[in-house]
Structure 1
Amino acid sequence: MTKMYYAENPDSAHDIHELKVTLLGQPFTFLTDSGVFSKKMIDYGSQVLLNSVDFEKGKTLLDLGCGYGPLGISLAKVQGVQATMIDINNRAIDLALKNAETNDVTACIFQSNIYEKVTGTFDYIISNPPIRAGKQVVHTIIADSINYLNDGGSLTIVIQKKQGAPSVKSKMQEIFGNVDILKRDKGYYILRSTKTE
């Protein structure tokens, strides 16, 4: 059985594609491959998330489950955040490293199973979580995020209603004591919780 995009080492044959896209009003080029999430286009949920956030230049960002890098790379280039990008998938990390270089972005990019190898804290954490990995993985991303956020920092998640947005919203409320719906678009919810001091 072929390993899914949330596996550490996908075993599918390589199938490199080059995507030329506009994100946040800027042109980007991304290499993608089989065995990574949404290889043929920037998925709609990620686009909705990008268009829902306005981060402060110079602040720190953790892109959790970065895939080949469209979120972290575009936010670093356009909004000027200091991006750290992680994914369990080594193939995705290899692509993200190449894509950062191609798009003239400096970011800290490395393989990590959720927060396993993450040190320090961040002003922002964003995630388009791997829903197919299961509810427990998504809830761990939310529950543990509070330990990696600075006071006043925020967790922003994109999730479809049919994939469990109400459950995710409840979990974020439980952990943070607050949750806002930044946007709803074609069944996608952009949810944000803030770590209060």
Structure 2
Amino acid sequence: MTDHYYTAEPTTAHDEHTFEFNLLAHDLRFTTDAGVFSKSTVDYGTRTMLETFDSENIPEGKILDLGAGYGPVAISLAKALPNRQFVAAEINHRAAELIKRNAQANHVADQIEVVQSDRYENVPDRFAAILVNPPVRAGKDIVQTMISQAKEHLLPEGTLTVVLQKKQGAPSAKKLMEETFGNAQTIAKDKGYYIMESVNVD
């Protein structure tokens, strides 16, 4: 049976690969492996979300990278925001271990707490921002709970930023964000990817 990147304990044979990538004006080095999301490069949706994310208009506090993969979001933001602390949450144990290694390799390990977590299950704290590139292949229910449960994990004025392709359900995700938060806007569109944001105004 083939492991998916949202498998908690992948059994696929290891096939590690290291590459360099520039994110947020920083040259970074990532080691990936079989059984993790986008193992060959940083996917375009993640790049677009990072370039669009407005870190200046969020409250003080930690930032959550939910479904962090091997860590490009948390690691690049930690480089760009050296005074912030991050939590990288990932269900896939293999990916979670890669986040730790990649954080060390890019000299941001002191800024990033890594937790193996099914969505928000083991996530501590409330956050200034949550960034999500949902695992669409894991199914609609998982994507929806990553959005609908975000509100209770955000500080007042904290933001949820989600990237989805239109064909993967971006319009319905935006509707759910609107229902959950009372607000949602599409802050960028690029090559079929929608970057959507809600603010916790309560």
TM range (shorter): over 0.9
Partner in structure 2 of residue 190 of structure 1: 195
Query: Distance in 1 between the 2:81 and 2:193 partners?
Result: 23
Are positions 1:30 and 2:34 aligned together?
Answer: no
1:81-119 per-residue CA deviation (whole Å, 9 max, x = no partner) reads 311001000000000000000000021001001011112
Query: Distance in 2 between the 1:176 and 1:140 partners?
Result: 14
Shift of 1:28: 0.1
Query: Distance in 2 between the 1:170 and 1:196 partners?
Result: 17
Query: Distance in 2 between the 1:92 and 1:134 partners?
Result: 19
Aligned to 2:64, what secondary structure does the other structure show? strand
Partner in structure 1 of residue 50 of structure 2: 50
Give me the TM-score of the superposition, normalised by structure 1: 0.97
Aligned to 1:51, what secondary structure does the other structure show? helix
Give me the TM-score of the superposition, normalised by structure 2: 0.95
Percent of pairs with identical residues: 46
Which of residues 76, 79, 89 is equivalent to 1:77?
79
Partner in structure 2 of residue 132 of structure 1: 137
1:121-148 per-residue CA deviation (whole Å, 9 max, x = no partner) reads 0000001010000111011011110000
Which of residues 171, 176, 188 is equivalent to 1:171?
176
Query: Distance in 2 between the 1:59 and 1:120 partners?
Result: 9
Query: What RMSD in Å do the two structures reach over aligned CA positions?
Result: 1.1
Moved over 6 A (4+): none
For structure 2, which runs of at least 5 residues remain unmatched after alignment?
none
How many residues are matched?
197
On the 8 A contact 1:69/1:96 being kept in 2, the answer is: yes
Aligned letter for 1:42?
V
Aligned to 1:3, what secondary structure does the other structure show? coil
Partner in structure 2 of residue 88 of structure 1: 91
Query: Distance in 2 between the 1:35 and 1:103 partners?
Result: 22
